[in-house]
Chain A
């Protein structure tokens, strides 16, 4: 996607409830054509402290863009989540967090600026993961 605004100037925006967030799902995190509950990994989460799930806002991304940002795109599929479901039904916090990524590292070419980047914050909770598996939409299944 072509973006007229320089990465350093990307503002943090309010994400409407109608928006969708794309999430990459590795091939070992699928069961019966759906993401496993374990695919919803809130980094750093414990039962008492929130962790974040990385996603991409559909205003600035799409399933293919989300997939190719992985180290091994051919080993990943993509699902999406409705923001209103996350915030209103599950009471999770959704925070647009554009990744300005101003330092380029040639050894990690998959890391590049990402205006779509959005964090979903949650405790480690079996309940949340069961409901996310149930409610998510598969946008791009695994290759083959």
Chain B
């Protein structure tokens, strides 16, 4: 059974964190690197894709003890509790939450975060990872001057919808291609 692509964070011999999108298995980060997690992997790399089909999303020096994604990962870990809720958890007939939806929500944020880190974003603001309507997951950023909601539907064929506004009156809304980096969302939060 084939697995959905996931984002992997691996250390490289040149002292970097590499973030790779792909299925489990050997992966490469950049030409000349040896991944500590997969010693012996062949060094073939071109156009940001390894020979095993992993896409390089970005790299980051391992100079800090705290990853810019720590808060994001912690937010998603806290939200794993909703995966245990049964159908009709609210007494109003709401369905439970699937791990696949949680995975898509996490991957959307992590992918955007790694792309944003490439734009010199030092720390990624973690969202509230909330139970949304009908098995969907809501990602909410509430900042003093702006709010952003991204809704990840339970139906994997539907693209996430989003809405954001600022106290100054600017509005962004639409749908997100989950295969795109979508780093502009996180950059918009820091403007």
A37-B138, A126-B150 are known contacts. Are A31 and B130 too (CB-CB below 8 A)? Answer: yes
CB distance from B89 to the nearest CB of A (A): 7
Residues on B with beta carbons closer than 8 Å to the beta carbon of A126? 138, 149-151, 161-163, 173
CB distance from B18 to the nearest CB of A (A): 33
A31-B128, A37-B140 are known contacts. Are A130 and B149 too (CB-CB below 8 A)? Answer: yes
Secondary structure type dominating chain B contacts: strand
Say which residue of A31, A45, A71, A129 sits within 8 Å of B91 (CB atoms): A71
Q: How many residues of A contact B (CB 8 A)?
A: 26
- Does the CB pair B158–A36 fall under 8 Å? no
**Interface residues of B toward A: which range?**
20 to 34
B150-185 vs A, CB cutoff 8 Å, 1 = contact: the mask equals 110000001001110100000001010000000000
Say which residue of A47, A71, A124, A130 sits within 8 Å of B133 (CB atoms): A124
A70, B89: Cα distance in complex, Å: 12
- Does the CB pair A38–B132 fall under 8 Å? yes
CB distance from B109 to the nearest CB of A (A): 15
**Residue positions of A touching B, CB distance < 8 A:** 24, 26, 28-29, 31, 36-38, 40-43, 45-47, 70-72, 75, 124-127, 129-130, 134
**Residue positions of B touching A, CB distance < 8 A:** 85, 89-94, 128, 130-134, 136, 138, 140, 147, 149-151, 158, 161-163, 165, 173, 175
7 closest cross-chain pairs (CB), A and B: A71-B91, A41-B133, A26-B90, A127-B163, A126-B163, A38-B132, A126-B149
